[in-house]
Amino acid sequence: MTGPVAIALDINGERVDAHVLPRLNLADFLREHLKLTGTHVGCEHGFCGACTVRVNGDIVRSCLILAVQLHGASVQTIEGLSDSGEIADLQAVFRDRNALQCGYCTPGMLMAAQDLLKQQPEPDRERIREHLSGNYCRCTGYQSIIDAVETTARMRAGHRA
């Protein structure tokens, strides 16, 4: 049973069939096997949030899920959200507000921020801070990141009105 296990799952809308070792986590599966390197690996024990992706619509730590657990699941990575245009406005505002410096935390930040904006269209800064509390930025650019999420929320609200 330590040998490879067959899995079939949906990644960014495409069916993927693979054989994976039980110890392989989703982050490494995405990066090493599928070359989806937008998902970053930081601490590998759930503290930093750099590896955040969506599984069945919910954001999760891809370092804390085994690929074998995802048979039949639907996964969306930063590449999926980026290519579909779902977060084009958020990405543009991140650039405008200098919300990324080295960029290492950015994919995870975008994932967590979009998750909040889907749940709560106009969060205040405290709520944004709380929702992003599981994502570290070691350049410490937190204020600009919160600015960017707040600005995007306002822009989206404006568009709806």
Partner 1 sequence: MKASAFSYARASSVANALELLAAYGDRAKVLSGGQSLLPAMNLRLISPELIVDIGELNELRGVVVEGDIIRIGALTRHVDLQRSLQVAAHAPLLAEAIAQVAHPAIRNRGTIGGSLAHADPASELPACMVALNATIIASGPNGERRILGAEFFKGIYETELSPQEILIAVELPVPPKNSVHFFDEFARRQGDYAIAGLAAQAIVEGAMLADLRMAFFALGNRPVLAKAAKSLVGVAITPAVLSEASAALVEELDPQQDQQASASMRRHLAKVLMARGVAALLDRPDLNRGGSA
Q: In the complex, which residues of this chain contact partner 1 (CB under 8 A)?
A: 1-2, 5, 21-23, 25, 28, 44-46, 49, 52, 55, 58-61, 63-66, 68-69, 71, 112, 115-116, 129-131, 133-135
Return the number of the residue (27 or 93) whose C-beta is nearest partner 1: 27
| Pair 106, 62: CB distance under 8 Å | no
DSSP calls for 117-130: HHH-SS--HHHHHH
Q: How far is the CB of 51 from partner 1 (least distance, A)?
A: 9
Return the number of the residue (36 or 65) whose C-beta is nearest partner 1: 65
Return the number of the residue (72 or 158) whose C-beta is nearest partner 1: 72
Q: Residue 129: CB partners within 8 Å, gap ≥ 6?
A: 142, 146
Residue 6 half-sphere exposure toward CB, CA atoms < 13 A? 1
Return the number of the residue (135 or 152) whose C-beta is nearest partner 1: 135
Q: How far is the CB of 96 from partner 1 (least distance, A)?
A: 25
Q: How far is the CB of 44 from partner 1 (least distance, A)?
A: 5
Assign 112 to helix, strand or coil.
Answer: helix
Could you report how far apart the first and last alpha carbons of the chain are, in Å?
A: 56
Return the number of the residue (58 or 85) whose C-beta is nearest partner 1: 58
- Strand ranges, E, within 12-153: 14-20, 52-55, 58-61, 74-76
Q: How far is the CB of 20 from partner 1 (least distance, A)?
A: 10
Nearest to 48 by CA among 57, 59, 61: 61
Q: How far is the CB of 22 from partner 1 (least distance, A)?
A: 4
